[in-house]
Structure 1
Amino acid sequence: MLRLAVTGAGGFLGWHVRVLLRTLGWPEPVVVTRHDLTDPTAVAAKVTGVDRVLHLAGINRGDPTEVASGNLRIARQLVAGMRAADAPPKAIGYANSVQAGNGTPYGDAKAEVSAILAEAGLPVDDVLLPNLYGEGGRAHYNSVVATFCRVLADGGRPDVHGDRELSLVHATDAAARLVGTATDGSWDATMPALDIGVRELATRLAEMAASYRTGEIPPLTDRHTVRLFNTYRAHCFPAHYPLVLPRRADARGVLVETVKVHGGAGQTFCSTTRPGATRGEHYHLAKVERFVVLRGSAEISLRRVGGTEVVRFQVGGTEPALVDMPTMWVHKLVNTGSDELVTLFWTNELFDPVRPDTWPEPVEASIPRPVAAVG
C-alpha cells in the first residue's frame, strides 16, 4: 500500500487512477493542482513524505508550440517543488506517450519532460502509453473511441475521413501500470492492447449501438469488447434509461423479454426484497449488470465513484423497464412499495467469488469534496 501524490488527478487518466486506488483500499492520493504547481512551496508541502508522485498532468490540444512549452513548464514546476520538499518522494511515475521523440513539438516535449523529471534525482518510471480509451473520456479530446461513442449515443454515425491502425489500452490498465499494482481480473498492469483500424473500430461500435438501442446485448466475446461496450454505455447514461421493455399479453398473462444476448456468457438471477430493504451499495470496474423490476416498485440510485451527484430512477413492475449499471458507478436498489419486490438481475459473466468485481461503497456516502473529472 503506497501513499501517492498525483498531478492531473482531475483528468481522464487521473480519474481512473483514483478509482483504482479506492478499489485497492489505498489512501486517497494527494492532489497537486495546476495552481499548486505555480508555487514550489505548495508543491513541496503536498509531496513531502509520499512514496510516489504520479505525473499525469499535461497539455494535449492547442497551438503545437504552446502545447510543447506548457508541458515543459509544468514538469519544471513539479521538479522545483519536489526538490524543496523536506522529505522528497521515493520515486516518480510519468505518464509518457508512445509519441515521445517522434519529431513533433508534442512528441519531442514529452521526451524532454522525462529528462526534466530525472533532474529531481529520483527513480523515474517512464511509462510509454498508447491511445487510451474507457469510461469518462471526453469526446473530441481524449480519444477517438470517446468521440465515436458520443456520436453514436446521440443517434449519429461516426465520420471516418481516413483509416489508420490504432493501439488501444483501457485507462484502468494504464492506471494499474502507473500505480504499480499486480494484475487482477478487473485490471491488467501489462496493458494488453487492442490493435484495430479506425474504420473497423467505427464499424464495431456502430454494431454495438444498433443492438443496444433496444436493450439487446451485443456479442461480448473478449476482454476489449466488454470494455468498448462499457465505454459506449457510459455515453448512454443517464439519458438512455430506464428503457421500457415490450410486453406481450394474452389470456394466460404477460410475457416480457428482459435480456436478449447475442452470444457470450452470462448469469441471470431473481430476488425478492422486503419493503424498505436495500440491495447493492457497490460498484463494478468491468462487469455489465442489468436490473429489471418485475413486481412492486423501487428506486434505483447511482453515484459516480468520487462524485457527489446521485442519479435516481423510479421503476415498477406495472411497466417493466431495464436499467443497466454503468461501470465505476456505485448503485443500489430500494423497495419503495408496501409489497414484496421481485427483481431480475443479469450479468455478462458468471459470478466468481475469488474475483467478484464487486466493490462495496454506499451510494449516499459522506465523502470528501472530489476533484472534478474531465468528461
Structure 2
Amino acid sequence: MKILVTGSNGFVGKNLIAELKNQQEHEIYAFDRDTPKEFLVDYCKKAEFVFHLAGVNRPENTEEFMEGNFGFTSELLDLLKLSKNTCPIMLSSSVQAELNNPYGESKRAGEELLRSYAKETGASVYIYRFANLYGKWSRPNYNTVVATFCYKIARGEEVNVIDPSVSIDFCYIDDVVHELLRCLKGKPTLKNGFGFVPEIDPLTIGELKELIVSFKESRKTLALPKLDRRIEKNLYSTYLSFLSEDQFSYPLKMNVDNRGSFTEFLRTPDRGQVSVNISKPGITKGNHWHHTKNEKFMVVSGTGVIRFRRIDSEEIIEYFVSGEKLEVVDIPVGYTHNIENLGESDMVTIMWVNEPFDPEKPDTYYVEV
C-alpha cells in the first residue's frame, strides 16, 4: 500500500515507519514539520491509507495547541478532499481529549473535525485516544515521564517525585505499532467508538522510579528484571535505549587466583545465576557436592573432563568436554564433581546454577572425587 505518515519524525511515527519498512511491502510517504508542503499535496493524491500522527503537546504558547492539533488536521483533510481521495485515516488523539484544558480541547476539536469529514466523504476513520506511551526514541521532558526518568537516572541525575502514589496507565510503543498495523488491515480494536491498545499496565510514579533505579543498580547487583512481567520487561528495554553511547559496557568483578578466574555474570531471584569460569592448563576445580543446588556446565573454549562420583559410591564417571563441540553437562545433586583442564591453553566454561549463591546457606560440601 501507499501509506502517508504525518509526524514521521515523532515518537510514534519513527517506530511505526521502522516496522512498516521491516515488512518491505509498502510505499511510505513520510511527512513532518520540516517536509516541504508541496510534498503533502502529492502525498494526499496518492495515499491509500493515512496515519495522522502529527500534533503538538508541549508548545511555547497555548495557541499552538489548536494550530497544531486542529489547524493542520483541517489542512490535511482539505487536501484529501481536493484530490477526491477518500482513503481510510487513523488519527492519533489522547485520553486528555476528555479534559477541559487547552491540549485536550485541541485534540477533541481534531476528533470532531475528522468525524465530520467521514460523514461528508464516506471515508473510514479511526480515532485512537492513547494513554501514556513509552518506549525507544521517545524524548525526555517532552513525550513521557518514562523517557524523563530513564534519561536522568541513566546519567545519575536526581529525579523528584511529588506524590509517589499517583497511578498512571502506561502503554508500550511496540503494542501501539502492532495495533496500528491491525488498523491498517481494517481490523482495529475498538471500544466505545474509539480505537485503543488493549495492552495497558498501571503503575505508580513511585514504583516507576524504583524500577528504573533498580535497572541502573543492576550493573552492580547483576540482577535481571522480572522478564515475565510485561511492564518490567518493556521498561528495561526502554531504559537501555536511553544509555549514553559511552555507557554500553560495564566491568564485572573477576575473582582471580593462580588457577584462573571465576566471574559472576547474571543473577535472578528465581532463575539462578550465570558465571564464567576460566581454568589454566592442568588445573582442577570443584571437588564438592550439593543437597539441592544443581548446575549446568558448558565448555566454550579449550578441552577438559568433568568427573562425578556419587558420595556413597567409589565409581568415577567422566565426561570429556571441548569448545569444539558445544554440549551441556548437568551436575546432579548428590554427586561430588570437579572439572579439569586437559589442554594447553585456558579452558572457558559457562556455568549456570539454579539459585544465587547465599553465604548463609551455601549448600556446598567439599569431598574429593
Q: Common fold, TM-score beyond 0.5?
A: yes
CA distance in 2, matches of 1:76, 1:37: 17
Gaps of 5+ in 2: 188-195, 277-299, 302-347, 353-369
In 1, the alpha carbon distance for the partners of 2:233 and 2:99 equals 32
TM-score (norm 1): 0.64
Match of residue 286 from structure 2: none
C-alpha distance 168-265 of structure 1, shift in aligned 2 (>3 A) = farther
Q: Does structure 1 residue 25 correspond to structure 2 residue 18?
A: no
* Residue 52 of structure 2: aligned partner: 55
Give the counterpart of 1:180 among 161, 179, 182: 182
For the residues of structure 1 that align with 2:127 and 2:270, how far apart are their CA atoms? Answer: 40
Cα deviation per residue 1:6-58 (whole Å; 9 max; x = unaligned)? 0001011111111221333332521123255745xx32311333221000000
State the partner residue of 1:247. 254
CA distance in 1, matches of 2:19, 2:275: 27
Q: Determine helix, strand or coil for the equivalent of 1:175.
A: helix
On the 8 A contact 1:43/1:82 being kept in 2, the answer is: no
Aligned equivalent of 1:67, options 65, 70, 76: 65
> Are the counterparts in 2 of residues 18 and 28 from structure 1 also a CA contact under 8 Å?
no
Distance 2:349 2:114 in 1: 54
**Counterpart contact for 1:101–1:110, Cα < 8 Å:** no
Q: CA deviation at 1:156?
A: 2.9
- For residues 268 and 240 of structure 2, the distance between their equivalents in structure 1, rounded to whole angstroms, comes to 15
Structure 1: which 5+ residue stretches go unaligned?
184-188, 270-293, 296-341, 347-375
Which one has more relative contact order, counting CA pairs under 8 Å at least 6 apart?
1
Separation (CA, whole Å) in 2 of partners of 1:7 and 1:200: 34
Partner of 1:16: 15
Offset, 1:206: 1.6
Quote how far apart the aligned CAs of 1:262 are: 4.0
Rounded Cα–Cα distance in structure 1 between residues aligned with 2:271 and 2:14: 30
Write the distance in 2 (CA, Å) between the matches of 1:50 and 1:265. Answer: 53
The 2-side partners of 1:240 and 1:227 are apart by 20
Match of 1:80 among 58, 71, 78: 78
Counterpart among 215, 218, 221 of residue 228 in structure 2: 221
SS in 1 for 2:96: coil
Q: For the structure 1 residues 207 and 214, does the alpha-carbon distance in structure 2 shift closer, same or farther, using more than 3 Å as the test?
A: closer
Taking structure 2 as the reference length, what is the TM-score of the superposition?
0.65
Out of 75, 78, 92, the residue aligned to residue 95 of structure 1 is: 92
* 3-state SS in 1 of match to 2:126: strand
CA distance in 2, matches of 1:51, 1:174: 21
Q: Name the residue aligned to 1:230.
A: 237
Partner of 1:107: 104
Partner residue, 1:336: none
Which residue does 2:322 correspond to in 1?
A: none
User: Helix, strand or coil: the match of 2:42?
Assistant: helix
CA contact (8 A) 2:267 2:273 kept: no
| Residues 157 and 206 in structure 1, CA contact (< 8 A), matched pair in contact too | no
Runs of 4 or more consecutive aligned structure 1 residues displaced over 3 Å after TM superposition: 23-26, 35-39, 212-216, 261-269
Corresponding residue for residue 151 of structure 1:
152
> Aligned pair in 2 of structure 1 residues 25, 38: CA closer, same or farther (>3 Å)?
closer
Moved more, 122-131 or 153-162: 153-162
1-side partners of 2:271 and 2:43: how far apart? Answer: 47
Encode CA deviations 1:115-153: one digit per residue, 9 max, x unaligned: 223426221101110010011111111100011111110
**SS of equivalent to 1:127:** strand
The CA deviation string for residues 95-114 of structure 1, in whole angstroms up to 9 with x for no partner, is 11111141111111101112
Q: Determine the C-alpha separation between the residues in 2 that align with 1:158 and 1:142.
A: 16
**Residue type of the alignment partner of 1:71:** N
The residue type paired with residue 143 of structure 1 is: T
Task: Using the TM superposition, give the Cα deviation of residue 193 of structure 1 relative to its aligned residue in structure 2, in angstroms.
Answer: 0.6
Please state how far the C-alpha of 1:213 moved relative to its aligned partner: 4.7
Corresponding residue for residue 7 of structure 1:
6
- Report the Cα distance in structure 2 between the residues aligned to 1:218 and 1:44, rounded to whole angstroms: 48
For the aligned residue pairs, the C-alpha RMSD in angstroms reads 3.3
Task: Please give the alpha-carbon distance, in whole angstroms, between the structure 2 residues aligned to 1:7 and 1:264.
Answer: 44
C-alpha distance in 1 between matches for 2:275 and 2:30: 41
In the other structure, the counterpart of 1:211 is 218
Give the SS at the match of 1:74: helix
Distance verdict in 2 for CA 1:265–1:7, change over 3 Å: farther
Give the 3 Å change call, closer, same or farther, for CA 109–133 of structure 1 in structure 2. same
- Which deviates further from its counterpart, 48-57 or 237-246? 237-246
Percent same amino acid among aligned pairs? Answer: 26
Name the CA distance, whole Å, in 2 between partners of 1:28 and 1:222: 36
Q: 1: distance between equivalents of 2:349 and 2:94?
A: 46
- Structure 2 equivalent of residue 170 of structure 1: 172
Aligned partners of 1:91, 1:250: CA distance in 2, in Å? 68
CA contact under 8 A between 2:171 and 2:197: conserved in structure 1?
Answer: no
| C-alpha distance in 1 between matches for 2:219 and 2:142 | 25
| SS of residue in 2 equivalent to 1:244 | coil
Choose 1 or 2 for highest CA Rg: 2
SS at match of 2:265: coil
In the alignment, is the contact (CA less than 8 A) between 2:48 and 2:88 conserved in 1? yes
**Alignment partners' CA distance in 1, 2:32 and 2:250:** 40
